[in-house]
């Protein structure tokens, strides 16, 4: 599958690019700057020499891909999706975006009027097949290609087929189990949970993730 | 320890009463109706014949206990805590309360102006030592006295000593690991997560819970 990772020059985007290059998918890293996108692609090819990885501007990346991951900062989400909406129509668009602010008490979720970042993106690109997923994976661990993540990825969408495809996609990452988290409105809980996990990372000096108990591991 | 469980006639309260009766703590079930509280205590004694369990009105239960658990419905939280505030002063008060509403898309968290149910309770009872915990335990599994829960209880409070005490308390339940979830403002994530877990229970026909990965199980 041809996967674009917009905002793919950040650690989370790079980590996913490494994992999908390993899985032999075609990966296009998107950035506002095509030069930075190509530099990031070069870095991924350094880790995965066999990988089919290129770097492009966000617009060209979205245009060429079959599936688009939004790994842009919350502050840039609205402008990015508004500009790209025509190119996202009909495609599966996975939002990894987490609306976070950092205060003295630690990281906290920003309350989003539309419900969640994923629902905002859906409103801005109504013909895209929005999916919320991958919020809670450690960028650090994704970037170590042999590391077994040993955690769940919760996937939500109003489009059942898109949800199923992204669940399958997420299980290509070593040690990941996909959980069907229901409609896109559940994205809010997945996004917000990230604030808690980041605060746990600091307190326990670890890279935390979650597992849902009571569901048999496949 | 002498533990009052207010609203302890519901399944969650009954389940906790059974577990702490088993742990040889003294349990006082509180209810608006002393008769219903005593009937619930009778039920707990039926499951744990050795248990030291009684039933009282909420006010008397709060008065006599060293530690108070709030297991009342969200709709009753404000009135209950307002009425009992003088009796909660100086005591550890654990909020299990989850502000939930059920719509056609499934259960969803109600956004609380004060941040969370636990923070609202803290505002209404400023001298209580508020702790948020136990939101995500299956009532059904708590009520089976031999069942190993195999999940984490995340505990948050602005009072470090109270937080530590409730972490110790939570690990008296078979299979529970306590996680320090930081200040009381993190209660919001623990409360909200419950909406997601209830929706997973329906989808997967299970009793789900959570484990934080990346933290070694003690």
What distance in Å separates residue B137's CA from the closest CA in chain A? 11
Q: Which residue of B has its CA nearest to A150?
A: B213
Question: Which residues from chain A sit within 8 angstroms of residue B213, using beta carbons?
Answer: 150-151, 208-211
Residues A180 and B190 sit within 8 Å (Cβ to Cβ):
no
CB environment A99-138: b (16+ within 10 A), e (fewer): bbeeeeebbbbeebeebbbbbbbbebbeebbbbbbbbbbb
If you ran DSSP here, which 8-state letter would residue B52 be given?
E
CB–CB contacts below 8 A, A to B? 109
Q: CB of B192 within 8 Å of any CB in chain A?
A: yes
Of A200, A208, A214, the CB nearest to B209: A214
Question: What local confidence, expressed as pLDDT, does residue B85 receive?
Answer: 98
A188 touching B, CB under 8 A? yes
pLDDT tens by residue, A71-122: 999 999 999 999 999 999 999 999 999 999 998 889 999 999 999 999 999 9
Tens of pLDDT, residues B38-82: 999 999 999 999 999 999 999 999 999 999 999 999 999 999 999
ipTM: 0.94
Q: What is the pTM of this model?
A: 0.96
The 10s digit of each residue's pLDDT in B129-167 is: 999 999 999 999 999 999 999 999 999 999 999 999 999
Minimal C-alpha gap between A210 and chain B (Å): 5
């Amino acid at each position: 599958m041809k996967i674009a990772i917009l905002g793919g020059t950040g650690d989370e985007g790079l980590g996913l690019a490494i994992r999908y290059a390993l899985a032999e998918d075609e990966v296009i890293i998107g950035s506002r700057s095509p030069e930075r996108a190509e530099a990031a692609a070069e870095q991924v090819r350094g880790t995965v020499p066999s990988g089919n990885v290129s770097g492009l501007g966000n617009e060209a990346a979205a245009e060429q891909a079959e599936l688009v991951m939004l790994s842009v900062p919350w502050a840039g989400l609205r402008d990015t999706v508004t500009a790209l909406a025509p190119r996202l129509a009909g495609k599966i668009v996975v939002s990894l975006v987490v609306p976070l602010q950092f205060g003295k008490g630690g990281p906290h979720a920003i309350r989003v009027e539309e419900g969640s970042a994923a629902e905002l993106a859906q409103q801005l690109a109504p013909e895209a097949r929005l999916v919320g997923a991958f919020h809670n994976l450690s960028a650090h661990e994704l970037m170590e290609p042999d590391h077994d993540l040993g955690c769940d990825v919760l996937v939500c969408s109003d489009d059942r087929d898109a949800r199923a495809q992204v669940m399958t996609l997420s299980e290509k990452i070593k040690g990941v189990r996909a959980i069907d988290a229901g409609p896109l409105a559940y994205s809010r809980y997945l996004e917000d949970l990230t604030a808690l996990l980041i605060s746990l990372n600091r307190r326990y000096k670890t890279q935390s993730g979650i597992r849902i108990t009571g569901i048999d591991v496949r």
